[in-house]
């Protein structure tokens, strides 16, 4: 089967503002885009169909309110949006907020200092995660967290239907208390014979 690839590139300037915290350590944050029309670029490549770039801009409204909750450990646990918000906009906003989700704080202690394994559940569903913690020789305040995760399989009836892996690299400065850099590489493949996604057709 010929291989194909689709890349989604989302470019936008945004601001995340904490505005409320509870006694359990959960913090509510607002997500606000500075530009009214962020650019979503879809790049497709397939040997049997037209290849090229498709720019989606000015069609999606990102100006409406959106908030999310992040736990004291650093995991995004909930999203809130206007009831009539568009599905595409919600999907992208959830994806942006979820980039900041990482279990980097040990309750009652502070930033984690050693590697660990855990099972998590976020916008991508349940997954098994492995964290590595790296210290910078050049900057004693800089801590790098590398999270590698794979989905938790609940149904083994078609084990090869979908494979997915994710690697997130998050760098935090302890001195200023801010996340200074996040990069994420999410890869998946679907078997040609898979019916797991239940994709239908219309006449």
109-138 pLDDT, tens digit per residue, is 888 989 999 888 777 678 888 999 998 888
The residue assigned the tokens 């790049």 is 43
For residues 119 and 126, is the Cβ–Cβ distance under 8 A? yes
The predicted model scores a pTM of: 0.72
pLDDT digits (tens, 9 = 90+) for 64-82: 999 999 999 998 999 999 9
Cβ–Cβ < 8 Å for 28, 67: yes
Burial class of residue 93 in the structure, from the number of CB atoms within 10 Å of its CB (0-12 exposed, 13-18 middle, 19+ buried): buried
Helix, strand, or coil (residue 94): helix
Domain spans in the chain, listed from the N-terminal domain onward:
1-101, 105-197
Alpha-carbon Rg for the chain, nearest whole angstrom, is: 19
Contact of 105 with 111, CB cutoff 8 Å: yes
């Amino acid at each position: 089967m010929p291989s194909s690839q689709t890349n989604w590139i989302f470019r936008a300037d945004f601001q995340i503002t904490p505005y409320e915290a509870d006694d359990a350590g959960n913090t509510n944050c607002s997500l606000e885009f500075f530009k009214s029309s962020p650019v979503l670029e879809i790049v497709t490549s397939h040997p049997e169909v037209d290849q090229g770039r498709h720019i989606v801009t000015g069609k999606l409204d990102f100006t409406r309110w959106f908030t999310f909750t992040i736990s004291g450990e650093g995991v995004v646990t909930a999203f809130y949006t206007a009831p009539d918000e568009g599905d595409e906009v919600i999907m992208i906003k959830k994806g942006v907020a979820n980039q900041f989700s990482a279990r980097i704080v040990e309750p009652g202690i502070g930033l984690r200092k050693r590697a660990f394994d855990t099972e998590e559940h976020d916008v991508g569903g349940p997954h098994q995660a492995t964290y590595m913690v790296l210290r910078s020789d050049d900057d004693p305040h800089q801590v790098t967290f590398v999270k590698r995760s794979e989905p938790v399989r609940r149904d083994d009836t078609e084990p090869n239907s979908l494979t997915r892996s994710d690697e997130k690299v998050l760098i935090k400065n302890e001195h200023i208390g801010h996340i200074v850099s996040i990069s994420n590489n999410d890869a998946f493949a679907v078997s040609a014979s898979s019916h797991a996604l239940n994709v239908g057709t219309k006449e």
